[in-house]
Amino acid sequence: MKFCAALCLLLLSASATATECVPSVLAAEYAWSRLAPLGAPVMAGYAAFKNAGAIEQQIVAAKSADFERVEMHSMSMDDGMMRMRKLDHLVIPAGQTLELKPGGLHLMLIGPKREFAAGDKILVEFTTCADAPTQSVSFEVRNIEAS
């Protein structure tokens, strides 16, 4: 299986105190989505985002032409129940990696506009601040059993 290893993104991000985007390089690795049953209304996307820059980076939006919408979510245990919560943005600290994985942070790919098969690619565009151009990452659809 192919991984989307070291797919480099030049992402622009808003700093916490400024309204301008600051160029920084993030790399998306291991971008994938689990194959869903035919007719499933959602899929999930996972990847590792590396921030090699000296300042914190944020992903503030995501979209895909293959889905009605893409949302950023977290999963956490709350009073013995697993809960999912929609997030407004993802933060990648300077010099660190943010991992999107099953049971944790992930993308919800909602309302598929086509059928998917193992090996298909899903292109997701990420935005890091209001006026920044989007950056694309290819997610490979994999036929992996849920654990």
pLDDT: which is higher, 11 or 83: 83
Of residues 68, 121, 72, 131, the one with CA closest to residue 100:
72
Eight-state DSSP code of residue 134 = P
Average pLDDT, the chain: 83
Both tokens of residue 142?
A: 């994999």
Instruction: Check residue 26 and give its pLDDT.
Output: 65
pTM of the model: 0.80
Q: Is the pLDDT of residue 63 over 50?
A: yes
pLDDT in tens, 65-111: 999 999 999 998 888 898 999 999 999 999 999 999 999 999 999 99
Mean pLDDT for 13-26 is 47
Residue 123: band (very low, low, confident or very high) from pLDDT cuts 50, 70, 90: very high
Tally Cβ neighbours within 10 Å of residue 5: 11
Sorted by where each starts, the structural domains of the chain and their CATH numbers stand as 23-140 (2.60.40.1890)
Instruction: Check residue 11 and give its pLDDT.
Output: 31
Q: Which of 3-7, 26-30, 45-49, 51-55 shows the highest mean pLDDT?
A: 45-49
Distance, CA of 31 to CA of 91 (rounded, Å): 17
Three-state DSSP state, 106: strand
Q: Is the pLDDT of residue 119 over 60?
A: yes
